A and B are shown apart, each in its own frame.
Chain A
Amino acid sequence: MGTIVDSLAGKRIAVCVGPGGVGKTTLAAAIGLKRALDGGRVLVCTIDPARRLAAALGLESLGNFEARVPAHKFAAAGLAPRGQLHAMMLDVKRTWDDLIARHAPDRHRQERIYQNRIYQQLSSALAGSQEYMAMEKLYELATERDYDLVVLDTPPTAHALDFLEAPDRILDFLGNETARLLLAPALGAGKLGLRLFQLGGSYIARTLARFTGSEVLRDLAEFMASFQGMYEGFKNRAAAVRALLAQPDVGFVIVSSPGPLSVEEALYFHEHLHAGAMPIAGVIANRVTPDLWEAGGPLPGAEALDPLLSSRGEIAPGLALRLARTLAEHQAFARADAREVRRLFAEVDGARAAVPRLESDVHDLSGLARLAAWL
């Protein structure tokens, strides 16, 4: 079976996916750190405005550019990397703007799109926009830079599917044939201002206008008009991203906590990666409560602990009772976690790692290195 690190050994791209709040960003950084220690030139790209990650990496802040973790930070953590570690944070709006600049035929068209309200909403607020841009950035990093490994930490999606479907959904939006049909007269006229309220003049368009107000339709028509001719470029690019993700040198790492809801979501994710023939490198169960009663058998009551405590001079009132209760509760958490981890591991192909709940949060490079040891 091997470890997560083993199964990522030949990979050039690692994509960490999973529900929010399970420590994905930190694990992505730990995966990147491990490869950098072993001699790789690595970039970790996160979408979370995780100041803590920046701090843990010894960087002032993370931005939409690649910053190298300075050597003295490694030295301070007692680490001697044979490679390099870089990190950046994805800026969704900037990535959209760059993408438009890349595809727009001229400066004028580019500005027209930047000013459009539909575009402004699309690039900042539309569901799936983050996910699409994460993929877009990944493609750019993978094809235009020479990292040995790019680790992508994906946004916490409301729905597991968003991540894989978002590019298609947004392309649907951009290439919306319906909008073209309905708005065709307005588009064809070229002078949108004059044809505003004519919107095809059809029964359907008029009824829609009653529903949304005609201004919304005008914005949309204008957006579609300024996008004309660019759609093919977008579509080709998205197809290339999709193809890239199915390559054998890509590895998806599914991250989950042992919470039942997290596990359900992680399994859902796994199912869809699997159905989409995406290469799965492994699964990580993070923050698992360790089993302290490995021998099994009934847990001790206060009466069993009391004499042992007194023989060591511990005579605080109720201590035996508190200890017995705490151990029982701990084991209840451990049992529940173990059950969920089993459920998770049973379904997933590839490497598996159960990372115990560490005693304190990861704050620096040495903390990340300790975490990486479990992978």
Chain B
Amino acid sequence: MAGPSLLDRRLLLVTGKGGVGKSTVSAALALLAARAGKRVLVCEVNARERVAPLLGAPPAGPVIREALPGLSTVNVTPQESMREYGLMVLKFRTIYDAVFENRLVRYFLKAIPSLAELVMLGKILHETRAEERGRPRWDLVVVDAPATGHAVQLFRVPAVLMDTVPAGPLRRDAEWMRDLLLDPAKTALSIVTLPEEMPVNESIELDAQVREVLGIPRGVLFVNALPEIRFPPAERERLASLEAEPPPLGPAARAAVLQARRAEEAGHYAQRVLAAVDLPAAVLPLLALDHWGLEAVERIAEAIEAGLGSRS
């Protein structure tokens, strides 16, 4: 990874296939940074909010709210972002209200493709560069981005607009947004995957798109929920012959055989993605937890720290 280490950047984008653990990894990255004394904001993008609840706090909604000391979250929505953006462009609330609170205009704005993505991304990037009393408002902004396809759509918006929109307010915004997204000193896009066939395929394709289409500096590959190798192959074979035994031995042998197969298959997919995606990687353990909350986030944070500690 070129440039500063991951947590020393200003903007961390986290994406991957649906259900691979993006929110947990985002929350864990934010937790690590906050514990290092940084002021951190985690943005979810028009999602069913997960990060604040994972940290044991109530959902923030579309207005920034502190979940833990030094760690705030927000759910960025098109409506609220449009309002903020409109106010910024038009300067005066009276004009905004007259124009944007007009039912017909609201309807019309919905019809412009990519405008919702642009204002949401605009809100996130605006927070990243905002200053208060001569210093940045946030040391780090973590974006728990939408799943693969939607994330590429979202992060492509500035470049697409620069291709299609001539000089004007939209284009000026697209320009600074693109510059920030492409700045290796400030920004990194990380991919989360599971050691399973479809998520691995999708991650490999996503990584190619990040390099070839988006051009956003790449961060870290997180291989999540990897079961540990606990039973060597020869032992597994012998345990398989004990599966038919009565309890407790039979079920215990069966569980071991299933674990061993799963670990082997997962190991195979992990190797594949690690070989295909040329990025620093952090391998995160499969956690057998009954409840997925702050404890899970803390354990994932420890694993990230251990995995990245030496290299970044």
Contact = CB atoms under 8 A, between A and B. Distances in A.
For chain B, what secondary structure do more than half of its interface residues adopt (helix, strand, loop), or is it mixed?
A: helix
| A: contact size bracket | 35 or more
Interface stretch (B60-68, B167-175, B211-219): B167-175
A314 to B, nearest CB: 7
Contact of A207 (B90, B166, B231, B235): B90
A326 B254 CA distance: 10
B174 to A, nearest CB: 10
B258 A359 contact: yes
A55 B157 CA distance: 34
A333 interface: yes
Interface stretch (B104-112, B121-129, B180-188, B304-312): B104-112
Q: Which of A177, A182, A215, A264 has its CB near the most chain B CB atoms (within 10 A)?
A: A215
Q: Which of B164, B261, B265 is the most central at the interface, judged by chain A CB atoms within 10 Å of its CB?
A: B164
A276 to B, nearest CB: 20
Interface size class, chain B:
35 or more
Given A207-B99, A215-B168, A260-B292, A19 B19 contact: yes
Interface in A244-285: 257, 259-262, 264-265
Contacts of B102: 204
Nearest to B171: A213
B230 A208 contact: no
Contact of A158 (B111, B147, B247): B147
A327 B147 contact: no
A322 B256 contact: yes
Interface string B246-263: 011101111110110100
Given A158-B150, A327-B251, A336-B290, A312 B242 contact: yes
Interface stretch (A81-89, A114-122, A142-150, A230-238): A114-122
A220 B112 contact: yes
Contacts of B158: none
B261 A360 contact: yes
Contacts of A332: 288-290
Contacts of B99: 204, 207-208
Contacts of A125: 113-114, 153
Contacts of A333: 288
B292 A212 contact: no
Nearest to B149: A156
Interface in A156-213: 156, 158, 172-173, 176-179, 181-182, 204, 207-208, 210-213
A167 B18 CA distance: 23
Given A117-B164, A178-B107, A333-B288, A327 B113 contact: no
Contacts of B248: 299-300, 304-305, 308, 327
Interface in B259-303: 259, 261, 265, 288-290, 292
B218 to A, nearest CB: 23
Contacts of B167: 213
Contact of B256 (A213, A215, A326): A326
A261 B107 CA distance: 32
A75 interface: no
Given A158-B150, A293-B251, A295-B247, A216 B112 contact: yes
A67 interface: no
A243 interface: no
A319 to B, nearest CB: 7
Contact of B110 (A156, A173, A204): A173
A1 interface: no
A312 B230 CA distance: 20
A20 B147 contact: yes
A324 B252 contact: yes
A61 to B, nearest CB: 15
Nearest to B242: A312
Contacts of A214: 168
A361 B197 contact: yes
Contacts of A259: 19
Contacts of B292: 260
A102 B248 CA distance: 66
B199 interface: yes
A246 B292 CA distance: 38
Contact of A262 (B19, B242, B245): B19
Given A210-B90, A216-B165, A178 B108 contact: yes
Interface in A324-375: 324, 326-333, 335-336, 359-361
26 contacts: A19-B19, A20-B147, A21-B19, A118-B113, A121-B113, A125-B113, A125-B153, A126-B113, A156-B147, A158-B146, A176-B111, A177-B104, A212-B168, A213-B165, A216-B165, A216-B170, A259-B19, A260-B292, A264-B48, A304-B248, A322-B231, A326-B256, A327-B251, A329-B255, A333-B288, A335-B290
Given A127-B116, A172-B111, 15 more contacts: A19-B18, A125-B113, A125-B153, A156-B147, A173-B110, A211-B170, A212-B112, A215-B168, A265-B48, A300-B252, A308-B249, A314-B238, A332-B289, A332-B290, A336-B290
Interface of A: 19-22, 52, 117-118, 121-122, 125-127, 156, 158, 172-173, 176-179, 181-182, 204, 207-208, 210-216, 220, 257, 259-262, 264-265, 292-293, 295, 299-300, 304-305, 308-309, 312, 314, 316, 319, 322-324, 326-333, 335-336, 359-361
Interface of B: 17-20, 46, 48, 50, 86, 89-90, 95, 99, 102, 104-105, 107-108, 110-116, 146-147, 150, 153, 164-171, 197-199, 230-231, 235, 238-239, 242, 245, 247-249, 251-256, 258-259, 261, 265, 288-290, 292
